[in-house]
Amino acid sequence: MLAASIVQVWHDDAVIEALSLATADDRDLKCTIAGQLAGAVSGVGAFAACEIFVPNPVTCGKAGGTVGGWVAVHITNKCNGAQNH
């Protein structure tokens, strides 16, 4: 359901138009958005999985934040690298 919501928002004409206005210098915007979405989803997933096994919000919050941040950076860098080839 989350993926369907993201796709629905992503295909909204206003979103497409705003992203298509990005110049060559701003082409990293789409990669940044993709990375942040992936990071947010994976961070929430890591937090939820952690809460099942270790019911400690502080520990699981740190785990979710770490996973989300790493995924966001990794996806953004991979996407930007693919655009440069």
28-44 pLDDT, tens digit each: 788 888 899 999 999 99
The closest alpha carbon to 3, from 51, 41, 59, belongs to 41
Distance CA 30, CA 10 (A): 11
Burial zone of 21 (CB within 10 Å; 0-12 exposed, 13-18 middle, 19+ buried):
exposed
pLDDT of residue 73 exceeding 60: yes
Q: For the chain, where are the alpha helices, taking DSSP H only?
A: 2-10, 13-20, 28-53, 57-83
Q: What is the pTM of this model?
A: 0.66
Distance CA 3, CA 39 (A): 13
